[in-house]
Structure 1
Amino acid sequence: MSQRRKGSPTRSEMAPLGSGRYRFMVFIVMAALALLVGRIVDLHVLNRLFLQDQGDARTLRVEAIDAHRGMITDRNGDPLAISTPVVTLWANPQQLPDDRIQRLMLAKALGVELDALNERIELYAEHEFMYLERRMTPVAAQQVLDLHLPGVYGKHEYKRYYPSGEVTAQLVGITNIDDQGQEGLELAYNSYLAGDPGKRLVLKDRKDRLVKDLRLIEEAKPGGDLTLAIDLRLQYMAYRELKAAVNEHNADGGTLVMMDARNGEVLAMANVPSYNPNNRSELDAEGLRNQAVTDVFEPGSVMKPLAMSAALATDKFAPETIVDTSPGYMRLDGKYTISDFRNYGKLTMGGILLHSSNVGMSRVALQLDNDAIWNRYHELGLGQVPGTGFPGEASGSLPVPYNWSESKRATMAYGYGLAVSALQLASAYTAIANDGKRLPASLLELSEPADGKRVMSERIADNLLLMLEQIVQPGAGGSRAAVPGYRIAGKTGTVRKVTSEGYQTSAYRSLFAGIAPVSDPRIVTVVMIDHPKGQEYYGGLVSAPVFARVVGKALRLLDVLPDKQEAMGDADKS
């Protein structure tokens, strides 16, 4: 039997130590298993929904789907405002590479200087978002995205484009960088045109790159289309002729409004100066206003037919009534002198309009009730908002007839002391063209004719129409408004501009308001040239020719058959 070495522990001495180690190791393993099981229960049972939501928040995104903005067209379907797809590039500055070569590639693709790009990135260094370029063409944007640079992303949007450019700029208006209406009808009907954005659920990686389009949450609802009353063919002609006249006479600007005499639709509305809505780098704030709707002015002699309608409605006056205008001037209130171009002597009511006699019109007005002319102007819509819905449309000014002096009553009769817009004036003239019923102006195409408001009898309207036809005959003040083959009626006006310093001695507005054709009125047109600086400044010399060129072409485009003109006799120019 072998002998135990001296100093070696016995089995009984070793057993407690071995057993303790074993138990300790078993405990450690079981504890680890318990913790693992507990963690699994915690992750998959107790906090499963919370953790799943947290994971989804880092991978799932709800993205907006831009709604396609509705199209604006003219009455014939020609586009005036359309939306085209574009891409907006943005970046996370904290993810952009610092490598100079990559930065240089990005700057070159964006078409900017490297230093300028670096400055912008430095400016937004503490942020997670910055625009690189808004509204790029899809082809140009894809060239940037094909670089596959970290932190560079693209977003699909829409950009507004205006095919007719400056010709319809003030009427149609513009949208801002976020495709929201900012001016004109784009602003007035923004909620209708804009539509409602949709939503979609997408899966993205940690670099915000699209992995998978999961599902559609809500479809985008495109905006509604808007059909205007204007005829783009007439609009082009009106703008071209108006711009040519403004340039020819070195004028400050001009306005033209053409309305359908049968239903009140605005067939053309042009303003000069204008602007190109597709290129706003040189945008002039003066060109933004739709002056035909928002700007007002004293109308002058073009108001005489409207004031005369109030006189003809009484038993004091008839078309053949004689009014003595001698000696060609009159003094009122002891300090105001009203005068004519010369002494016209005795005139009929038509003769007063033909010679544009201020004295004759004043003597008629002073025989009427104090509020007779005011009531007629009010019935014609003056001093009231036209109701077209256009942003900033002016109501004009029509002072209440309280305690009016004789001079105030007289000047109101020949167009001073009140203010109107070109649109209001055109609407007022529809009463003469439409058998005595005034038609409210409509910028949108009407599905059915508007109900006119009767403001004068059919007989008075017919008489005024024949009186105004004399003004366009050879030798008369409005002869330059004549259109070969058609009977034209109209009235000239030349009014001094007024400023805070009073009436100007050498600054005028030249006007012509006309109706065509007399045999069966189809269109009413108002032309106003602001401050012509040449030798010619009378309405019959400056605005009447614009009327003739625009209306002549319009009648042919609208297929209005020519009628026989009958000479009405010569008359003096007024």
Structure 2
Amino acid sequence: MKFIRTSGTAKKPRPRAHFDLRGRLMLVGGALALCSVVLVGRAVDLQLIDNAFYQRQADARFLREVPIPTSRGMITDRNGEPLAVSSPVESLWLNPQQLADDAAALARLAEATDLPLDYLTRQVSQYKDKEFMYVPRHRRINPSAAQKIIALGIPGVFSQREFRRFYPQGEAVAHVLGFTNIDDRGQEGIELAFDEWLSGTPGAQKVIRDRQGRIVEHVDLLRAAEPGKDLTLSIDRRIQFLAYRELRSALLESGAGSGSAVILDVATGEVLAMANLPSYNNNRISGSGRDTYRNRAVTDLLEPGSTMKPLTVAAGLEAGKITPSTRFDTSPGWIPNGRFRTTDFRNYGVLDTTGIITKSSNVGVSKIVHMLPDREFDAFLRRFGFGRSTGSGFPGEAAGLFPDYTRWSGTTKQTLSYGYSVSVTPLQIARAYAALGNGGVAVTPTFVKGHVGESERVLDEQVAGQVMRMMQTVTEPGGTATRAAVLGYHVAGKTGTARRSAGGGYERRYIAYFAGLVPVDNPRFSMVVVINDPDPTRGGSTYGGGFVSAPVFARVMEGALRLMDVPPDDIDTWLAAQSAAEARRARNTPQVAARATPTAAAPASLPQPLQELAP
């Protein structure tokens, strides 16, 4: 055996390393302890230090504040009969984020709602970054119809409670009430004027929704819902319907284009009825033009024609220039007015002041107004409210057009005396006549029952009484409005027939008026009937106010006086009519027996109407 020498010393084998288990356990334990400390610290941060932030983040995903719908206040007539009520309905809505990519759900919804699938898909895609949209054409629908769709369980489709306005009287009161929009806010008429009063305050509550938008828990009531306040109008729905019905009949008979009727309580200024035609159904306003919505009785300006003559006479009486018996020669039936002529229907010759009203003489009032200074006549008419709003508070009410006397031309004052060169609303005429019937005191019109409007004396009480007696002759034999007479009552009134202005002149189209008060001894109602553009060729009728508008007044007032239990002031005429009716019944008694006998024949001497009744 050989030994090989190597340089250096021989290496000793290294000892084997000792495994330190305790140290490693301590290291692992320390790491775990550190992690625990971090986790506890993070928990403290989440639960205590930064709790509000993360709570807001969680709430934003699951906690929602949802409104609690409330009903709009009810509108009733003066007797408590409903004119506008709110009824609960349902509105369908969906979550576009959930349905945008769910073609199957969209197809089911389209089939359930009868909506074209492509239309519904386009609508949902436009709101795909939103969480809420109403299902098209399915807002404020019948609750039973909505529940049928919800019962199908289409993902992402829900319903919510809302309220919808209903108007039981429909077209008859549409222009007074107006209507609300899809969000139940007033848009026209009383609904707009008293929107703040009628609108309730929606409530609010916190709820938890799941990822599909369903409410799984009601967390808290934030604010209770407060319903709107009820409103009682001065309107009497019975008189309103009478006015609407008779106005419609008159328009059909005369072929007129439009019309208005206004009835005021003389003492209080309360609007008992206000009807307009053409009308619209405020339960379904789609398809109706905005021109149809306007309340012509307070927005349309018209030249009042001969309804101005009693005021011209009143101005002359108040100034002491004339008396009821002052005589005027109206021959030859016309009078110059600058380069024009003012003419009467015919030559009435010599008339006293009362006769000027009875026959509606343009020449007569022209002579009266020339006795009055311009400034005084201007001030007199303005006291009656011409040239300014009546103050009724109705939205869009017109003030009228009445030029100041300093801007009158040489013909203005004369034409003013018989109702031209001034534009007024039917409500302004009704208020002026109510002042005559109220002993010369004008009261601000109101649509709210029990509301006391401002009042002012505009005419001496004695003068007002004189004018009333003069106007009474208009509805009696020899007057221009015998068709306005109401059996058992004295009626004071005035007809008017004004030509319509157009293009700076006047066309051969007319406006027929009748304005009246009843009963004369203790006036209760002031009524104005305006019929625009009657067709003079329709059935051989004329276009005058005494023929077209006066019968509407008579028929409406006959019903209104009976409904309001107004005692008659013309007992003699009423008793005479009753006696005549009894005499007719007595004469008809034999005819009743004759009709019971099949072989009986009508005597040849019977008048034609009775012959028609005989067998």
TM-score (norm 1): 0.92
Preserved CA contact (<8 Å) 2:105 2:155? no
Paired letter, 2:334: Y
- 1: CA distance between counterparts of 2:15 and 2:370? 142
Q: For 1:237-276, what aligned pairs fall within 5 Å after superposition?
A: 237-276=242-281
- 1:91 and 2:94 equivalent? yes
Paired letter, 1:379: R
- 1:208 and 2:210 equivalent? no
- 2: CA distance between counterparts of 1:47 and 1:403? 78
* Alignment-derived partner of residue 74 in structure 2: 71
Preserved CA contact (<8 Å) 2:488 2:570? yes
* Alignment-derived partner of residue 108 in structure 2: 105
1:417 counterpart (400, 418, 421): 421
Q: For 1:487-502, what aligned pairs fall within 5 Å after superposition?
A: 487-502=490-505
* Deviation by residue 1:257-312 (Cα, 9 ceiling, x = unmatched): 00011211110000001100111232132210001011110000000001110100
Shift, 1:19, TM fit: 6.0
* Alignment-derived partner of residue 580 in structure 2: none
* Deviation by residue 1:171-196 (Cα, 9 ceiling, x = unmatched): 11111111111111111111111122
- Of the structure 1 ranges 396-405 and 479-488, higher mean CA displacement relative to structure 2 is found in 396-405
2:527 counterpart (518, 525, 540): 525
* Alignment-derived partner of residue 546 in structure 1: 552
2:509 counterpart (507, 510, 532): 507
1:305 counterpart (299, 307, 310): 310
SS at match of 1:168: helix
Preserved CA contact (<8 Å) 1:307 1:376? no
Preserved CA contact (<8 Å) 1:366 1:406? no
- Structure 1 residues not aligned, in runs of 5+: 1-9, 568-574
- 2: CA distance between counterparts of 1:527 and 1:416? 18
* Alignment-derived partner of residue 485 in structure 1: 488
Shift, 1:247, TM fit: 1.7
Matched residues, percent identical? Answer: 45
- 1: CA distance between counterparts of 2:345 and 2:32? 119
- 1:427 and 2:422 equivalent? no
* Alignment-derived partner of residue 570 in structure 1: none
- 1:169 and 2:171 equivalent? no
Preserved CA contact (<8 Å) 1:487 1:565? no
Paired letter, 2:390: P
- 1: CA distance between counterparts of 2:69 and 2:433? 45
SS at match of 1:32: helix
- 2: CA distance between counterparts of 1:413 and 1:470? 20
Shift, 1:109, TM fit: 2.5
* Alignment-derived partner of residue 609 in structure 2: none
- 1: CA distance between counterparts of 2:67 and 2:21? 68
- Of the structure 1 ranges 558-567 and 165-174, higher mean CA displacement relative to structure 2 is found in 558-567
1:461 counterpart (456, 460, 464): 464
- 1:373 and 2:381 equivalent? no
- 1:188 and 2:190 equivalent? no
SS at match of 2:249: helix
SS at match of 1:327: coil
Preserved CA contact (<8 Å) 1:97 1:150? no
- 1: CA distance between counterparts of 2:504 and 2:411? 20
- 2: CA distance between counterparts of 1:16 and 1:122? 68
* Deviation by residue 1:444-475 (Cα, 9 ceiling, x = unmatched): 1125x545322222211111111111110134
- Structure 2 residues not aligned, in runs of 5+: 1-12, 574-615
- 1: CA distance between counterparts of 2:349 and 2:228? 63
- 2: CA distance between counterparts of 1:291 and 1:566? 39
- 2: CA distance between counterparts of 1:393 and 1:291? 9
Paired letter, 2:426: A
CA pair 464-196 structure 1, distance change in 2 beyond 3 A: same
- 1:288 and 2:293 equivalent? yes
- Of the structure 1 ranges 461-470 and 52-61, higher mean CA displacement relative to structure 2 is found in 52-61
SS at match of 1:498: strand
SS at match of 2:404: coil
Shift, 1:215, TM fit: 2.4
* Alignment-derived partner of residue 323 in structure 1: 328
1:355 counterpart (339, 346, 359): 359
- 2: CA distance between counterparts of 1:59 and 1:276? 44
* Deviation by residue 1:96-145 (Cα, 9 ceiling, x = unmatched): 27555533332232232333222322333343332102112221111222
- 2: CA distance between counterparts of 1:103 and 1:205? 21
Preserved CA contact (<8 Å) 1:97 1:149? no
Preserved CA contact (<8 Å) 2:91 2:161? yes
Please, what is the CA RMSD of the aligned residues? 2.0
CA pair 97-57 structure 1, distance change in 2 beyond 3 A: closer
* Alignment-derived partner of residue 7 in structure 1: none
- Structure having the higher Rg: 2
- Of the structure 1 ranges 280-289 and 377-386, higher mean CA displacement relative to structure 2 is found in 280-289
2:567 counterpart (550, 561, 565): 561
SS at match of 1:176: coil
- 2: CA distance between counterparts of 1:529 and 1:486? 24
Preserved CA contact (<8 Å) 2:358 2:478? no
SS at match of 2:276: strand
* Alignment-derived partner of residue 387 in structure 2: 383
Shift, 1:519, TM fit: 2.1
- 1: CA distance between counterparts of 2:481 and 2:290? 34
* Alignment-derived partner of residue 125 in structure 1: 128
Aligned residues: 555
